[in-house]
Amino acid sequence: NAGVTQTPKFQVLKTGQSMTLQCAQDMNHNSMYWYRQDPGMGLRLIYYSASEGTTDKGEVPNGYNVSRLNKREFSLRLESAAPSQTSVYFCASQTPGTQAQPQHFGDGTRLSIL
Amino acid sequence: AQSVTQLGSHVSVSEGALVLLRCNYSSSVPPYLFWYVQYPNQGLQLLLKYTTGATLVKGINGFEAEFKKSETSFHLTKPSAHMSDAAEYFCAVMSGGSYIPTFGRGTSLIVHP
């Protein structure tokens, strides 16, 4: 059971560079999410996709873009990386239905921007 | 609107001692409540969840939590801490028709030998 797979696991960028974080899930979930985790801040939602073909902004969307490529894949793009975007990024997915369903998380991408 | 407050960014216990991690929520409608655990260099994993029905919920690894509506709390407990319980714990709430959870800031559990 792969669950939610994130690539890469680690990345170091220079300020101004761009990159795309990849996320794929094999659980046939409709909803997918991108979070960033910073010390003492918990998880903050960047973008989410309630279903294939839709995306919406979360709490901290500035500086990011997303693409819901298909039902399995949801990517996060940094067009011009800034040191403030140094963080651990988590992708999550959720099955449709009632609100009682938990989210399933990947192991994260640790991103450092110099 | 929904929100979660986790009291204490760090909790330190001795091995074998009671673990108590506090979570208070705010919701205008009956909530769904979750506890997740995060081990180093891993993503979050579900420990337990409250939906409806029995207010005492049992989860994995001997953890349990009690939903107390009158106190708007969902505290996580374990009778006897083990070294392997050392991790970050997150409380989350979903309510009001939203499928997007609100997470607390997390509590780091430290277990001393």
**pLDDT tens, residue by residue, A40-99:** 888 999 999 988 889 999 999 999 999 998 999 999 999 999 999 999 999 999 986 666
In this prediction, residues A4-25 reach a mean pLDDT of 96
3-state secondary structure of A107: coil
Q: Flag if B103 and A48 touch (Cβ within 8 Å).
A: no
Instruction: With a cut of 90, say whether residue A100 has pLDDT above it.
Output: no
CA distance B15 to chain A (A): 25
Which of A99, A105, A107 should one mutate to test binding to chain B, selecting the residue with the greatest count of B CBs within 10 A?
A: A99
- If you average pLDDT over every residue of chain B, what do you get? 93
Which of A30, A49, A101 should one mutate to test binding to chain B, selecting the residue with the greatest count of B CBs within 10 A?
A: A101
State residue A99's pLDDT score: 62
Q: Which two tokens stand for residue B52?
A: 């409806």
**pLDDT tens, residue by residue, B31-75:** 899 999 999 989 999 999 998 888 899 999 999 999 999 999 999
State residue B68's pLDDT score: 93
Of chain A, the end-to-end C-alpha distance in Å amounts to 35
State residue A41's pLDDT score: 86
Helix residue spans in chain A (DSSP H): none
Instruction: With a cut of 70, say whether residue A1 has pLDDT above it.
Output: no
| pLDDT confidence band for B30 (50 / 70 / 90) | confident
Q: How far is CA B29 from CA A4, A86, B82, in A?
A: 31, 36, 36
**pLDDT tens, residue by residue, B84-100:** 999 999 999 988 777 78
Instruction: Choose between A36 and A96: higher pLDDT.
Output: A36
State residue B16's pLDDT score: 97
State residue B17's pLDDT score: 97
Looking up tokens 């180093």 gives: B40
Cα(B28)–Cα(B35) distance, integer angstroms: 20
State residue B98's pLDDT score: 74
Of B34, B41, B97, the CB nearest to A102: B34
State residue A64's pLDDT score: 97
State residue A98's pLDDT score: 61
Instruction: With a cut of 90, say whether residue A105 has pLDDT above it.
Output: yes
